[in-house]
Amino acid sequence: MEPQSLVEIVSEEEFLCLIQESYNGFIKIYISLERKIASGKVISKKFYSTLKYETDSFESFLDEHGARENKSWAFFSEYVASIRNLSIAAFYIRHILDRYPYYKLRETPEMDRKFKTSAEATLRFLNSSIYNLFKEAIVTAKNNGLEFPPNETGMAEYAETSANKKLPRNISEEDVKDEEERIVDLCEKIRNVSKSMLALSIPQTYDPDELQQIVPSRLDEKVLREFLIQIHNVQSEFDTYVKNTKTEQIYSELKYIRGYISMPLHLLESALWLSHMYERHEEGIRPGECKRKISMMADKNDLLNQIVNFAFYYALYFIQQGACLAEEVLPQLIKFKRIILPIPTPLGFHARPSTYLSLIARKYDCDLFLVIDNEKYNARSVMSMLQAGGVIADKGIQSVQFESDQRVINDLEILAKNNYCEEKPIPPELNYLRSNA
C-alpha cells in the first residue's frame, strides 16, 4: 500500500481565507510606506527592519502554501520576494547614513557630501521601486479575489530613538595577548582584500550594455559574498583583539580603521541583496512575463547602476582608504629581525631563488636584506641578489643572514626548508609565489 501524502491540497477559494490575515499586515505596512513617501519624510532604519520582517514572514507563508508553483499566485509571490530583497538593501544604506558621523572617517567635506548624496539617491530609487512593487502586488491580489482591508490606517507611528546622545565612555582599556602581532595580521588582511577587489577592475560606467556585461559575468552574488565574508572576519577580529585596548589608544590610526571596515562591509551587504534581486528576479537572467514586469517597476538599468556605481564603487573606495591607513600603522608595529639560513643548493642565488626572495618582500611591501660581512644587499632587487650570489660563491659561504620583519622571515624559513624550491614544488603556504613567478 502506497503511503498517503500528509499535504492537503486546498482550492484557491479556500486559500483566500488562509491568506487574508497575512495580507492585512502586508497592506498595513504599504499604507504606512505610502504615507511616508507622500510626506517626504525620511524612512527610518526601524521602518525598513519592520518591512523586512513582515515581507520575510509573508514570503515564508506563501512558500509553505506552494504559492510560487501556482499560476494565480506565482507573480504575487515574486513581488513580495522582490520587496523583501530591496528592503534589506535599503536597511543597510539607511544604517550607513545613520552611523556615518560616528565612523570617524578621515574624509573631506566634499567627499562626505558626495557619498551622502549618492546614498540618498539610491534610497529614493529603492523606495520608489518598493512602492511600485507593492502597488502591482495589490492589483494582482485583487484580481485573485483578495479583499483590501476596509478602514485600514497603516501601522502605528512610533518615535525613533535618537542616536545623538550617548553614555560617557568610561570603560577601561584591556590588555590583549600578542595584540601588536594581531594588528599586523589585521592590517595585512585589509590590504589583501583591497587588492583583491581592485584586481576585478570594475569601472564606473553608466552605459546599460556595459553594466550588463559587468553584472553578473564579473560581479555576482558569489564574488560579493566572498569579499563580504573576508571583511566581516576582519571586523570580528578587530572587535575581539583591538577595540578598547591600550594599543588602540597608542596608535591613533587604529581609531579610524574600524569605520573603514564597517563602511565597505555594509555597502557590500547592500550590493549583495541588489545583485540577488537582479539575478533572481530580473528579466535578463530568468526570462518570463513576471520578470519583465519586475524589471519595469525596479528598472534593471537603474538597479545595475546602484550595484556598480554606488555600492561596489564606494565599498572599494573605503576599503582602499582602510588599506592606506593600514600601511600607515604597519611601519610603527613591524620589528625587524635577523635569521641565518642556508643558501640554495647546488647553484646558490641564481635567477629563480632570487626572484622568489623579491616576490616575498614585495608581497608584504617591506624591506628585505641579505647581509654579508655587514654589507647589505637589497633582496627586493633580483640584480642585487645576483651580485650577492657572486660574492657568496667567491667566498664559499654556505649560510647567510637575512634581515626583515617577522612575516617575511616566516616565509623565508619555509622557502629555505624546501631548498628554495630548486627541485621541490612550491609549498601551499607560498602559493602566491606560483601566481606571480
What is the C-alpha separation between 171 and 99, in angstroms, rounded?
Answer: 21
Question: What's the confidence (pLDDT) of residue 168?
Answer: 54
Question: What's the confidence (pLDDT) of residue 268?
Answer: 98
C-alpha pair distances (Å), 138 with each of 30, 57, 357 = 9, 17, 66
* Sign, CA torsion 48/49/52/54: negative
The pTM assigned to this predicted structure is 0.83
CB neighbours of 304 closer than 8 A, spacing ≥ 6?
208, 211, 212, 214, 215, 278
Question: What's the confidence (pLDDT) of residue 260?
Answer: 97
Domain ranges of the chain: 7-148, 178-333, 335-436
The answer as to CATH 3.90.1150.10 being correct for domain 335-436 is no
Residue-by-residue pLDDT tens, the chain, 437 positions? 455 556 678 788 888 889 998 999 999 999 999 999 999 989 999 999 999 999 999 999 999 999 999 999 999 999 999 999 999 999 999 999 999 999 999 999 999 999 999 999 999 999 999 999 999 999 999 999 998 887 666 665 544 554 556 555 545 455 555 678 888 889 999 999 999 999 999 999 999 999 999 999 999 999 999 999 999 999 999 998 888 888 888 888 888 999 999 999 999 999 999 999 999 877 565 567 887 888 888 999 999 999 999 999 999 999 999 999 999 998 888 888 899 999 999 888 899 999 999 999 998 888 899 999 889 999 999 999 999 999 998 898 999 999 998 889 999 999 999 999 988 899 999 999 986 65
Question: What's the confidence (pLDDT) of residue 170?
Answer: 45
C-alpha pair distances (Å), 179 with each of 17, 190, 233, 237 = 60, 16, 16, 11
Q: Among residues 253, 403, 397, 231, which one has the least CA distance to residue 324?
A: 253
Strands 336-342 and 399-405: antiparallel
**Residue whose entry in the numeric block shows the C-alpha cell 595580521:** 185
Q: Among residues 237, 98, 256, which one has the least CA distance to residue 181?
A: 237
CA angle 303, 308, 311 (to 5 degrees): 90
Q: Is 28 in a helix, a strand, or coil?
A: helix
What is the C-alpha separation between 84 and 62, in angstroms, rounded?
Answer: 13
Q: Among residues 133, 47, 168, 141, which one has the least CA distance to residue 98?
A: 47
CA atoms within 13 A on the CB side of 135: 12
Number of H helices, E strands in the chain: 16, 4
Stretch (H or E) spanning 401: strand 399-405
Question: What's the confidence (pLDDT) of residue 172?
Answer: 47
